[in-house]
Amino acid sequence: MREAVPEDDVSRDLSERGAEVLRESEARYRRLAEATPVLICTFLPDSTLTYVNTAYAEYFQKPPGELLGRRFLEFLPDDGTRDRVVRRYMSLSRDHPSVTYEHPVIGPDGSERWQRWTDRAFFDEEGRIAYFQAVGDDITERKHYEERVNLLSAALESAADATVITDNRGVIEWVNPAFTTLTGYSPEEAIGRNPREILKSGYHDEAFYRGLWTTILAGHTWRGELINRRKDGTLFTEEQTITPVRGARGEIRHFIAIKHDITERKRAEEELKQLRDRFYQAQKMESIGRLAGGIAHDMNNILMPIRGYVDMMLTNSPADTPENAYLREIRRSADRAAELMGKMLAFSRGQVLRREPLDLNEMIRDYERMVKPLIGENINLAVELEDDLMPVNADRGQLEQVIMNLLLNARDAMPDGGEVTIETAGRYVDEGHAVGQEIVYPGQYVILRMRDTGEGMSSETRKRVFEPFFTTREIEKGRGLGLAIVYGIVKQHRGYISVRSEPGKGAVFEVYLLPVTDESVPSSEAVQEDFLLDGEGNA
Report the DSSP beta bridge partners of residue 356.
Answer: 394
Average pLDDT over residues 498-521: 81
Q: What distance in Å separates the CA atoms of residue 294 and residue 497, rounded to the nearest whole number?
A: 24
pLDDT at 313: 82
pLDDT at 377: 80
Higher pLDDT: 162 or 485? It is 162
- Return the half-sphere exposure (C-beta side, CA atoms, 13 A cut-off) of residue 148: 6
Q: Which of 85-94, 217-226, 373-382, 472-481 shows the lowest mean pLDDT across its residues?
A: 472-481
Domain covering 22-137 assigned CATH 2.40.50.140 in the classification: no
Higher pLDDT: 459 or 445? It is 445
Average pLDDT over residues 44-57: 94
pLDDT at 7: 56
pLDDT at 413: 87
Q: Where are the beta strands (DSSP E) in 233-387?
A: 235-246, 252-261, 352-354, 356-358, 379-384
State yes or no: pLDDT of 106 exceeds 80: yes
Given pLDDT bands bounded at 50, 70 and 90, which one contains residue 529?
very low
Average pLDDT over residues 243-251: 89
SS3 487: helix
State yes or no: pLDDT of 520 exceeds 70: no
State yes or no: pLDDT of 264 exceeds 70: yes
**Interstrand relation of 438-439 and 112-123 (parallel, antiparallel or unpaired):** unpaired
Nearest Cα neighbor of 169 from 217, 240, 201 is 217
Q: Where are the beta strands (DSSP E) in 230-316?
A: 235-246, 252-261
Q: Residues of 469-482 as b/e, b for ≥16 C-beta within 10 angstroms? A: ebbeeeeeeeebbb
Q: What distance in Å separates the CA atoms of residue 141 and residue 118, rounded to the nearest whole number?
A: 19
- CATH number for 352-528: choose from 3.30.565.10, 3.40.640.10, 3.40.50.10800, 2.30.110.10: 3.30.565.10
Q: Which of 145-159, 363-377, 511-525 shows the lowest mean pLDDT across its residues?
A: 511-525
Class of domain 159-261: alpha beta
pLDDT at 534: 34
pTM confidence score: 0.48
- Return the half-sphere exposure (C-beta side, CA atoms, 13 A cut-off) of residue 448: 25
Average pLDDT over residues 391-401: 85
Percent with pLDDT over 70 in the chain: 78
Mean pLDDT (the chain, rounded): 81
Average pLDDT over residues 230-238: 93
H helix or E strand, kind and range, residue 447: strand 443-452
Percent with pLDDT over 90 in the chain: 40
